[in-house]
Structure 1
C-alpha cells in the first residue's frame, strides 16, 4: 500500500484507554481493559468498523460469483467481472495514496464507504427488480473498483495515526486477523443466505455492513489531527518513478517483487472460477461455495499466525521458497479433486501457504528497504496485486476452452515454474535468512 503520510504518534498524544465496569460477573466492580491495541478508542472504532465492512466484502464475493453464473454460464465472465474490479485498483492506487496523504483519512473512509454502500444498494435493487444485465453488472463492479482504489490506502494509512508506536505492530496484526477471520465466517454465512434470501438479499445485507464502517469511522476523533504532511516539491508521479528506480537498483527487493506476482497473476487467478467448481463439478450449490471460500480463509488465518513462528525459529528464505511451491501444488490439487472434502482440504492448504508466502515476502521487502522508500515500495506492491485481473482473464479464457479443472491445473503448474525460475535466477533470494 501507499505510505502512511504520518509518523506513528507518541503515546502522550493518544486518548487514555477506556475502562468500563461490567454489571454482572465475578469481576464486577473491577475495571477491565481491552487487550492490546484495542485499548485505544479510535483504533477500536476502526477495527469494529472493519469487522462490519470486511464481513460485507466477503459476503459480496460469494453473491457476486453466484450472480454471474445466474446471468451467464460463461467462466470467462467470471474473469471479466474480477478484472472490472481490479483494473481500476491497478491504475489508480498511486493516486488513491496521494489523496490519502492530503486529506483527513477518517473522513475519506466515511466518503468511500458511503459510496460503496450506495452502489451495493443499487445493485441489490436492480437484482430484486430483475433489471440487472451483464453490462450494467460489470459497470457497477468497475465503479466499486474505482472507489476501492481510494478506500484501501485511506484505511491502511489511518492505522498509524490511531495508536502509539509501541502498539503499531499489534494493531497491524489485529487488522490482519479481522480480515482473515471474516474470510472464514462470512462466505459460509453468505452461501447459506443466498439459498434463503437470494443474491439480492445478500447485497442488501452487504450495503448495511458497509454503513457499519461509515458509522464507526465518523466517530473517530484522534487527539493528534490526521493532517497532511507539509507540501513537497515532487509530485506523486515523480515519487512513483523514483520508487521504481530504487526497486530496479535493489536486486533483493526486485526479486521479491517478482515473486509477489505469483499470488496475483498466477495463484489467485483460480478464485473467480471457484463458483464453477461448486456448481458443476462438486455439485454443492451456494452453501458449498461459501464453505469453499471459508476453507481458504481458515487456511489464511492459520498462515498469518504461522508467520510469527517462522520469524523466530526458521530461516525465512527457504520457508518463502517452500511456501510458494506448496501453494502452487495446492492449487493443482484443488483442480484435480472431485470430492468436496478433498476440495476443502486443498483450499485450506492453498490459503495457508498463500498467506505465509505473501506475508513473508512483504516483511522481507520492508526489512530490505530504507524508511524513505517503504511507502513507495508498498504502493508498487499494491500495483502487483491489481494484476490479479490479468490472471483472472487468463483463467476465464482457458476455462472457456479446456474446462475449469484443466485451466486451474495449468495455472498451478505455471506458478510452480515461475517460483522455481525466479529463485534459481536470483542469488540474493537464495541468501535470505
Structure 2
C-alpha cells in the first residue's frame, strides 16, 4: 500500500513535469522540431544507460536505488524551476535537464518495475500490474488537467514546485514499505549481466516479440503524446488548459481497462495485445486527420480517448505476459529493457517533428506535416497488429 501511495504521488509529479517541460519548450521555440529534439534529449541517455540500470536493479538494493533517483530528480526539477523563474531559461537548457532526467530514469524505472512484483505473490501479479498501470494511467486523467490549469492560472514555476512535492512523498512512502529486498550483488561483471540479459531475451521469443513490438508501437504510435502541445496550439488553436484536457481524455480512456481488469487481469493476452494496438492505430489516424481537416476539439478528444483505452489494453496484456514469465534473477534487466519503450516514444517525437517540418516546407502549407507523420504512424501500427496476430507463433503458445 505504501509503495503504491508513493508511486501515485511521484507519477503525478512526473506527469505534471513532462507537461510543463513540453509547454515551456514550445513557449521558447514554436517549431515542431523543438519538441522533437526535446524527445531526443530525453531518449538518448535513457537508451544508452538503461541496460546498466537494469543490471544494477538486479544487483543492488532496489529501495535505495529508487530513493536516490527520486532525490536527484527533486533537486533537478527545483533548479529547473528557479532558472525559469529568474528568466534565465533558454530552450537548449530544457534539453540539458531533459537529458539528465532521462539518465536518472534509466536507473529508476528498472528498479521500480522489478521492485513491486517482489512485494506480492505470483497469483496476484495480474492485479498488481493493473494497479501499477492504474497509477500511471490514472494520473494521466488528473495530471495534465492540473498542469494546464496551474500554468494558466499561476505560471510554470509554481507548477514545477508541485512536482517536487510528489517526488518527496515517494521518498517517504517507499521507505515505509516493510519488505526490504536484499541485494543480489555476488560480484562479477555488470557488463556480463547485461550480455546475459540480452541473450535471455534473444533465446525467449515471447520476450523478444513483446519488447520488440512495444518499441515499434512506441515509435510509430504513441508519438501523438510528444507532439500534443504542437497539435493543440498550432493545429487545434487551444491554450495550455486545452492541451491538458486532451491528454486527460487519453488518461480517461486508459483508466477504464485498468479498472475493469484490476482483479482478474486480461485472460486472453494475445487478443489484448493485437486488438489493443489495432484500434489504437485506427484512432491515431482519426485523431491526426480530424484535427487538421476539421479542427474540431471535441472530435480530437474522442479519438484521443479511444487511443488511451486501446493502448491501455495492449500495455496490460504485454506487461502481464512479461512479469508472469520472467525469472526473478532477470527481472530488473528485462523490465529495464522493456522501459526503453518510453524513450522510443521520444525518438518517435523527433521523427514526427523533423518529418513534419520538412513536409510543411515541401508543400508550402503550415502545420500539415505533423498530422501527416502522426497519421502515417497510426497506419503502420494497424498493419503491424494484423501481422502480429496472424503470424507470430510465440504469442499463440506462451502469452
Equivalences for 1:174-189 in 2 at 5 Å? 174-189=131-146
Give 1:261's aligned residue.
215
Between Structure 1 and Structure 2, how many residues are aligned? 386
Q: 1:130 to 1:280 in 2, by over 3 A?
A: same
Equivalences for 1:99-114 in 2 at 5 Å? 99-114=56-71
Q: Offset at 1:284? A: 2.0
- 3-state SS, counterpart of residue 132 of structure 1: coil
Q: Deviations over 1:100-146 (max 9, x none)?
A: 33433333322211111111111111111111012211001111111
Q: Does 1:251 align with 2:208?
A: no
Q: Offset at 1:86? A: 2.1
When structure 1 is superposed on structure 2, of 288-297 and 246-255 the one drifting more is: 246-255
Q: 1:332 to 1:71 in 2, by over 3 A?
A: same
> Which of 276, 281, 289 pairs up with 1:336?
289
Q: Deviations over 1:217-268 (max 9, x none)?
A: 3x4263x5432125155x3332332333333333344333332223311111
TM-score (normalizing by structure 2): 0.87
- 3-state SS, counterpart of residue 181 of structure 2: coil
- Tell me how far apart the structure 2 counterparts of residues 59 and 97 of structure 1 sit (CA, whole Å): 26
Equivalences for 1:223-242 in 2 at 5 Å? 225-229=180-184, 231=186, 233=188, 235-242=189-196
RMSD over aligned Cα, in angstroms?
2.6
> Which of 2, 24, 32 pairs up with 1:67?
24
Give 1 or 2 for the bigger CA radius of gyration.
Answer: 1
Q: Does 1:418 align with 2:397?
A: no
Matched-pair contact (CA < 8 Å) for 1:306–1:356: no
- Tell me how far apart the structure 1 counterparts of residues 392 and 124 of structure 2 sit (CA, whole Å): 35
Give 1:91's aligned residue.
48
Q: Offset at 1:201? A: 2.0
Give 1:220's aligned residue.
176
- Tell me how far apart the structure 1 counterparts of residues 343 and 395 of structure 2 sit (CA, whole Å): 24
Q: Deviations over 1:75-104 (max 9, x none)?
A: 111111122112222111221223333433
- Tell me how far apart the structure 2 counterparts of residues 370 and 163 of structure 1 sit (CA, whole Å): 14
Q: Does 1:283 align with 2:237?
A: yes
> Which of 316, 326, 336 pairs up with 1:359?
316
Unmatched runs of 5 consecutive residues or more in structure 1:
1-37, 39-43
Give 2:8's aligned residue.
51
Q: 1:70 to 1:103 in 2, by over 3 A?
A: same
- 3-state SS, counterpart of residue 101 of structure 1: helix
- Tell me how far apart the structure 2 counterparts of residues 432 and 99 of structure 1 sit (CA, whole Å): 28
